[in-house]
């Protein structure tokens, strides 16, 4: 194989395109994770504030702290708030896992390229 044909082959394969695609994916996933994490913080803060206000109000009306907490956690409203919070936690964790998978893809591609350099 001549030098020119090797160059043409390299140009056609565009060796950096896989890396660039992986890095672009990683960058996008990090942005999505950050957005999901910010929403999760808002959900968590809102949930804890709502729960605390309800508990304080019930305690002010004469219930013990344990009974007030049990009453709140037994309500459908608490269940919905808590479910929403946990679903957002799952979204954040899913993005984190996708980032980890993308990092593994990058390492696999990098290793593959290094192996090919040693072979040729």
Give the integer Cα–Cα distance in Å for 67 and 74.
10
- Residue 2 has a pLDDT of 46
Give the integer Cα–Cα distance in Å for 97 and 75.
33
pLDDT in tens, the chain (120 residues): 544 344 344 445 555 577 778 888 888 999 999 999 999 999 999 999 999 999 999 999 999 999 999 999 999 999 999 999 999 999 999 999 999 999 998 888 888 888 877 775
Q: What is the DSSP string of 9-78?
A: HHHHH-THHHHHHHHHHHHHHHHHHHHHHHHHHHHHHHHHHHHHHHHHHHHHTT--HHHHHHHHHTSHHH
Q: Which long-range contacts (CB under 8 A, 24 or more apart) does 104-108 make?
A: 105/22, 106/19, 106/22, 106/23, 106/26
Extents of the domains making up the chain? 38-120
With beta carbons less than 8 A apart as the criterion, state whether 78 and 47 touch. no
Residue with tokens 């206000």: 53
pTM, entire model? 0.73
With beta carbons less than 8 A apart as the criterion, state whether 58 and 73 touch. no
């Amino acid at each position: 194989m001549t030098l020119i044909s090797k160059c043409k082959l390299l140009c056609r394969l565009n060796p950096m395109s896989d890396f660039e695609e992986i890095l672009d994916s990683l960058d996008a996933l990090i942005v999505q994770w950050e957005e999901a994490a910010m929403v999760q913080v808002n959900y968590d803060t809102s949930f804890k504030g709502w729960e605390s206000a309800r508990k304080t109000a019930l305690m002010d009306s004469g219930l013990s702290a344990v009974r007030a907490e049990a009453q709140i956690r037994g309500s459908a409203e608490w269940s919905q708030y808590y479910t929403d919070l946990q679903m957002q936690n799952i979204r954040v964790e899913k993005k984190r896992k996708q980032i980890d998978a993308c990092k593994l893809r990058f390492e696999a591609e990098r290793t593959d390229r290094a192996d090919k350099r040693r072979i040729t």
